[in-house]
Chains A and B, each alone.
Chain A
Amino acid sequence: MPLEGPRDSSIAIVGDGFGSAIVFATAVYLGFRPDQVTIYGTNDNPVNTYQQFAFNLGQTVLRSESESHFLPADWPTFAQLECWSRGSPSPMFRSIGRKYNPGVPDILAEVTVVARRLGWNDNRFPRHVGWLQREHRPSPHFLLFDEEANYIGRAKHVMLAMGHGPLSFPPLLAKAREDPPTGDRIVQAYEPKVYAPDGRYVVIGAGIASVNEWANALDVGAKVISLLRNPAPDEQDLNTPRCLFEARGIDVFQGLPFEQRIAFLGKILKGTTPKRRGWAARVQRGVAEGRFEQIIGEIDRLEPGPAGLRIHITSRHGPDPGWLDVTGVISGTGFVKSVLTVPLLRRLVEHYNVPVEEGRLKLRTNCGIPGLDMAVSRLCMMGIFANTVIPHGDTIAGLKYIGRRFAVDCARAERVRQRSFFARLGMQLSLAGESARAMKTVRRMEQLA
């Protein structure tokens, strides 16, 4: 049962998704009592938001690798857990060859086990945080209020784990979505959707969401044109180069000035296509059957048409494809990355003059909010809005990187007595054991690599 009234906490986590589960589990692993941490959000399970997006995408396995799991420490990995759970060495061999991706049901089962065992929901106050107020007396802390300005608690340290901004569309498509004759023909990859077997679809983008949609549409027998704004994107298994996930890359990244970091992110996050056997086979079959093509260009005009939509595409890299009649356009363009689209962050920016450049907060190198963050009372950001500091901030590995360091900062500030090695080992083994049992009850997903 969630909390029924406001309370004082050492750590407040604003948001109720994967990030909140990681910070909560890490804090408890380090020695905080669960009741010293409060989660603010209305979902009763940290998987809810992700589960909906995964369902809409038709995603069956993660792009992440075996280490992207939700146990507080890095061992055992997903491949080891699956091996243990299902009695098959195959995940271990795949992991050794870096061809293992955890299944969505497995990861949801693990998060649910970790959250339930550690009391995530019992320490959740079911309100959205609408305002944070920095107080300095008697000691630095934050007051938290909901969207109706009701007081909902106090906390010494706050982690902003609010996930992504709203779904992003190219401006022309965003406008057309407001227009009833065309609105329902333009869909975001992360929204629920239905493909007709004989339909003609244009899928914009080349990231994981778009690639999933190519496969989903081809699977039902539809025809797909993949529309890329730029020539072939770099091929990459993960959505940032591997070494940027670890100290070597992050040290270098953080050594760059803010402007160069933004420019660098613009390059590496523009579009990386993961190479996966399952997707590649489906696309090759689609090409062979004349049901898949890729073109470079942008939609510059759009109107209702006899097939549903009539779109005009221009290209700077060859002859214009011209006017096309299509059943629908699927936009795999992700989420809006501007912090100003998130009400709480916008209020903080306006009230406390938090510096923003090109829609990005100029976070401190510890992901702290400038002007509000203090060593003795941290206000920290995780997720996509922290990727100016941690380039893979919105991946599970990135959430762990930030969450761990924040939790350690809080433990240091609060002088929390660390669990002993054997207590940590016991906690880890017990969570891993129960996760493995839970994974046995869910469907095993086919590996795509």
Chain B
Amino acid sequence: MCPTTLGRVQTRVAILIGPALFGLLLTLLTGNVGFIVTIGVYLLMGVALDLTLYTLVIRWQPPWLTFVLGVGEFVILAVLLNILQVPLTFPQAALFYWVSWILATLTRIIVLPLVSLAWLENGGEFRETGWSIPPALEPVPLIAQVEEERPYGALVREFSTVREIPEEIRNLPSPSGVRRIPTGPPPD
């Protein structure tokens, strides 16, 4: 996937709806606001990363990178929760984060493609399924690779007409499977 900046933000918000509801439920059940605050901090931190680092560094995002980013975001989030003194123990925060992450990932993989037919094609944006509007962006660069000259090898010398053709390859059949020329005598 090649997410656009807008696509990253829109997707981030959409996939955190489920975890936010989960956090709200936990907050209501336990009376600990740490769960819903954690999701809020996670959302703000994620959007900040989407708008700055990820947009600059990641052009094409292979699926494996999503997990790596998840680990990195967990570390940053843990530091932020500590600084902000969010009332969750580390094990509570870690468990809540990874359950939320799995919920968000499942939403991204299963629900979003069904909600929007072209979500994946649109770089994670929730556009109407429609045709591109051409913005004036830079053309995609292409650099040709030129190899150095090199001498021909033994096979070219072997194929060369200056050499005698071995008897065994004189009467090999033609490669064509559709235009085979009959070899036997013509019919009477």
Contact = CB atoms under 8 A, between A and B. Distances in A.
A405 B122 CA distance: 12
A195 B175 CA distance: 6
Contacts of B188: none
Contacts of A177: 179
Given A184-B181, A191-B176, A425-B114, A246 B165 contact: no
B149 A318 contact: yes
A268 interface: yes
A290 B154 contact: yes
Among B7, B114, B137, B151, chain A packs the most CB atoms within 10 A around the CB of B114
Nearest to B146: A231
B72 interface: no
Interface string B143-176: 0111101111111101111100100111011111
Interface stretch (A39-47, A306-314, A436-444): A306-314
B113 A75 contact: yes
B102 to A, nearest CB: 15
A246 B121 contact: yes
B177 A192 contact: yes
Given A196-B173, A234-B145, A246-B121, A252 B130 contact: no
A293 B155 contact: yes
A156 B154 CA distance: 62
Interface string A239-257: 0011111111111111110
Interface string A14-48: 00000000000010011000000000000000000
B123 A96 contact: no
B4 A247 contact: yes
A296 B150 CA distance: 10
Contacts of B176: 183-187, 191-194, 328
18 contacts: A75-B113, A180-B181, A184-B181, A193-B176, A199-B172, A242-B2, A246-B123, A247-B4, A251-B133, A267-B142, A293-B153, A318-B152, A327-B172, A328-B176, A365-B132, A397-B121, A404-B129, A408-B130
A373 to B, nearest CB: 12
Interface in B54-72: 59-60, 62-64, 67
A306 B170 contact: yes
B2 A248 contact: yes
A98 B142 CA distance: 22
A337 interface: no
B51 interface: no
Interface of A: 26, 29-30, 56, 67, 72-76, 95-98, 177, 180, 183-187, 191-196, 198-201, 223, 225, 231-232, 234, 241-256, 260, 264, 267-268, 290-293, 295, 305-308, 310, 317-319, 321-328, 330, 365-367, 397, 400-401, 404-405, 408-409, 421, 424-425, 428
Contact of A247 (B127, B150, B165): B127
A249 B135 CA distance: 11
A251 B135 contact: yes
Contacts of A322: 160-162
Among B128, B137, B165, B176, chain A packs the most CB atoms within 10 A around the CB of B176
Nearest to A391: B140
B124 to A, nearest CB: 9
A95 B139 contact: no
Given A255-B135, A255-B137, A295-B156, A200 B110 contact: no
Given A256-B139, A264-B139, A196 B123 contact: no
Contacts of A67: 120
Contact of A408 (B2, B115, B117): B117
A31 to B, nearest CB: 12
Contacts of B159: 200, 223, 225, 324-326
Among A56, A73, A187, A194, chain B packs the most CB atoms within 10 A around the CB of A73
Given A255-B134, A321-B160, 17 more contacts: A30-B117, A74-B120, A75-B114, A184-B179, A186-B176, A242-B2, A246-B123, A247-B7, A252-B135, A264-B142, A293-B153, A306-B165, A318-B149, A318-B151, A324-B159, A327-B174, A404-B121
Interface in B4-37: 4, 7
Contacts of B67: 96
Contacts of B155: 223, 225, 290-293
A268 B120 CA distance: 23
Contacts of A324: 156, 159-161
A194 B180 CA distance: 10
B137 A252 contact: yes
A303 to B, nearest CB: 10
Nearest to A305: B161
Contact of B129 (A253, A255, A291, A408): A408
Contacts of A408: 117, 128-130
Contact of B175 (A29, A199, A248, A409): A199
Contact of B63 (A96, A225, A306): A96
Contact of B62 (A98, A195, A291): A98
A290 B135 CA distance: 52
A198 B179 contact: no
B51 to A, nearest CB: 16
A193 B174 CA distance: 9
B109 interface: yes
Contacts of A310: 161
